[in-house]
């Protein structure tokens, strides 16, 4: 599933390519979007900006219209030059935005809605999001307070709750807990204020490192593999995620994994570095 860093990079790329450009063509596979286009055409509108909010991506058009998308497990946004060959077949395109210089395509995006500012304020999820780990401003104290509001839940589950911290997904959940040396199955009530503050700070630092803007100009932004260890080596980029049975990079103990939470998401941890006691 795309996590907050993926959505942030997609929003940054789309914003660079599309901001200030006029829509010359619009196509969609979704009836509800097509109905809005029929009543109030998207073509002719100007894109005012693209932003990420946690795992949500918002495309703002002139005339108080906002396209809101969520990737869930398999969605993605692509940018192409007009006439350039797409990396995925057209049958998988759900939304297509044409401009004079770029074509933005949402492939396999399962959630796509049009909103006004007023309707967005009544959205079922967006107004409830916790502090966005990748936002320009991050309120660490608010993040800690929101974690503390779930004292009887396991910290691994709490980190996936977008109402607590927006943008963290299953990969970062395991990686953040490892970096903080906290067992992901500990109840929040057992964590010290320092441990909670460390978790919030590590979440911010780790995810920010994965959206570093190495391309100061142009459209291409970050294209590398997600990494939390700081290593550029493809095989050494993560501490624990996906490494069940392999030696811990710090102590050598075998990494363990098991399902966690109502969604049965797989959590990875080191039993020695992250002892429950």
State yes or no: is 173 an active-site residue: no
Catalytic residue among 92, 187, 237, 265: 265
Rounded Cα–Cα distance for residues 228 and 271 (Å):
19
Please confirm, yes or no, whether 2 is among the known catalytic residues.
yes
Q: Is 275 helix (H, G, I), strand (E, B) or coil?
A: coil
Residue 42 and residue 58: Cα distance in Å, rounded?
A: 15
Enclosing H/E stretch for 113:
strand 111-115
Is 3 an active-site residue? yes
Which candidate in 2, 186, 227, 243 is catalytic? 2
Per the DSSP assignment, residues forming a β-bridge with 260 are: 265
**Unique residue bearing structure tokens 């057992």:** 190
User: Taking the CB of residue 120, how many other CB atoms lie within 10 A of it?
Assistant: 16
Is 55 assigned a catalytic role? yes
Exactly one of 12, 55, 173, 186 is catalytic; which is it? 55
Q: Is 260 helix (H, G, I), strand (E, B) or coil?
A: strand
3-state SS, one letter per residue, for 17-62: HHCCCECCEEEECCHHHHHHHHHCCCCCCEEEEEEEECCEEEEEEC
Q: What whole-number distance in Å separates Cα of residue 238 and Cα of residue 5?
A: 15
Residues labelled as active-site residues: 2-3, 55, 265
């Amino acid at each position: 599933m795309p996590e907050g860093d993926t959505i942030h990079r997609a929003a940054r790329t789309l914003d660079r390519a599309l901001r200030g450009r006029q829509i010359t063509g619009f196509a969609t596979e979704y009836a509800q979007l097509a109905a809005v286009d029929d009543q109030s055409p998207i073509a002719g509108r100007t894109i005012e900006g693209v932003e990420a909010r946690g795992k949500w991506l918002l495309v703002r058009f002139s005339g108080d219209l906002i396209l809101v998308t969520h990737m869930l497990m398999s969605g993605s946004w692509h940018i192409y030059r007009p006439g350039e060959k797409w990396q995925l077949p057209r049958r998988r395109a759900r939304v297509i935005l044409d401009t004079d210089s770029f074509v933005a395509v949402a492939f396999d995006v399962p959630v796509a809605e049009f909103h006004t500012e007023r309707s967005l304020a009544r959205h079922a999820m967006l107004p409830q999001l916790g502090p966005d780990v990748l936002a320009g401003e991050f309120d660490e104290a608010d993040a800690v307070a929101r974690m503390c509001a779930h004292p009887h839940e396991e910290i691994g589950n709490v980190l996936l709750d977008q109402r607590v911290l927006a943008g963290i997904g299953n990969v970062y959940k395991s990686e953040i807990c490892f970096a903080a040396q906290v067992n992901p199955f500990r109840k929040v009530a057992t964590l010290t204020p320092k441990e909670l503050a460390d978790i919030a700070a590590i979440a911010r630092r780790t995810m920010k490192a994965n959206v570093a803007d190495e391309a100061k100009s142009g459209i291409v932004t970050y294209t590398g593999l997600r990494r939390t260890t700081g290593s550029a080596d493809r095989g050494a980029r993560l501490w624990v995620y996906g490494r069940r049975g392999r030696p811990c990079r710090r102590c050598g103990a075998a990494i363990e994994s098991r399902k966690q939470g109502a969604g049965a998401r797989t959590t990875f941890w080191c039993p020695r570095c992250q002892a429950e006691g």
